[in-house]
Amino acid sequence: MRTRLRLALLATFVIGLVLSGLGSVVAKSPEQRDQINAADRVAQRFEARVDDHVMAAAEKIKSQHDADQDGYPALLEVVQDQIADAPRLRPGGTTAYGRDHSNDYQDADNHRASAVAPLKDLEAYLRAQAIPNSKFIAAGKKLVALRPGTLLGDEAVVNGDPLRERVLPAYEKARDRMKDQDAPKGAELLRLDLMTYANDMVSMTKDGAKKIDEQKAFYFQLGDRPVELFKRLAAMETAIQVQVTQQVEIVAAAQ
C-alpha cells in the first residue's frame, strides 16, 4: 500500500513538473507574442530582400560572362561586388526577446548564407583557379606563338646579329614569363614541357647565330612541338571556360 502511495505521489509530482514546463513555454504574454511577431516580420522582409538581391546579382553576373567569356578578372570584380552588397540582417524594429524566440529570425542568417553560397563558390573558383591558370595559359600561348621567321622579317640574314637582336630576346622574354607562372594542379608536366621548349629555342637561336657567323647553313627546327603544346594549352583553357560557365549557370538556376 505504501509503495503504491509513493508511486502515485511521484507520478503526480512528475506530471506537475511537465505541466509547469509546458506552461512556461506556451504561456507568453501578449507583449511577448508581439515582440516575436515583429522579429518574424523583420526576418521575412530580410529574406525577401536577399532573394531579390541574389536574383539581380545572377543577371549581372550572367550578363558580364556573356559579354566576355574569358574576362575572368572583370567577372570576379562583379561577383565580389554582389557578395559584398548582399543585405545583412539588422535588429531594427525588434527586441532581444523577440529575436531570441523567433524561429524565422534565428534562421534568417542561414537563409542568407544559403542564397549567397553559389556566388561565393564562383568567386572562390575564379580567384583561386580560373584567373591564375589563365595567366599560365596566356604565358604558354605567347611562347609557342613565336615564330623565328616572323621575328626576322623579310630582311636577308647575312650574319648572326638578327638572331641575337630579334629572335633571342623574344624567346628569353617568353621563357622568363613562363618561369614566373606556377603550374596549375595537374599541369606540372605541361609546364616542364613548355620550359624545355623555351630553353631549346634559346639554345637553338644562339647556336644558329654562331653558325651563320661562321658562314654555315642553319635552319630552325621546330617540328610539331609548338602545335602540340598549343593544343594542350587550348584543352586546358576550354576546361576552365566550361567550369566557369557551369558555375554561372548554377548561380542563375539557384534563383
Please give the pLDDT value at position 54: 95
Residues 50-95 pLDDT 10s: 999 999 999 999 999 999 988 999 999 999 999 999 999 999 999 9
Closest CA to 93 of 39, 154, 151, 157: 39
Q: What is the pLDDT of residue 17?
A: 46
Q: What is the pLDDT of residue 18?
A: 46
pTM exceeds 0.85 for this model: no
pLDDT score of 154? 85
Walk along the chain (255 residues) and give the pLDDT tens digit of each residue.
555 545 444 445 445 544 455 444 556 798 999 899 999 999 999 999 999 999 999 999 999 999 998 899 999 999 999 999 999 999 999 999 989 999 999 999 999 999 999 999 999 999 999 999 999 999 999 999 999 999 999 888 899 999 999 999 999 999 999 999 999 999 999 999 999 999 999 999 999 999 999 999 999 999 999 999 999 999 999 999 999 999 999 998 865
pLDDT at 9: 44
The answer to whether the beta carbons of residues 145 and 233 sit under 8 Å apart is: no
Residue pair 129/184 in contact (Cβ under 8 Å)? The answer is yes
Report the pLDDT value the prediction gives residue 135, as an integer from 0 to 100. Answer: 95
Please say whether the beta carbons of 105 and 42 come within 8 A.
Answer: yes
How is residue 213 annotated by DSSP? H
Distances (CA, A) of 122 to 117, 224, 241: 9, 37, 12
SS3 labels along 120-167: HHHHHHHHHHHHHHHHHHHHHHHHHHCCHHHHHCCCCCCCCHHHHHHH
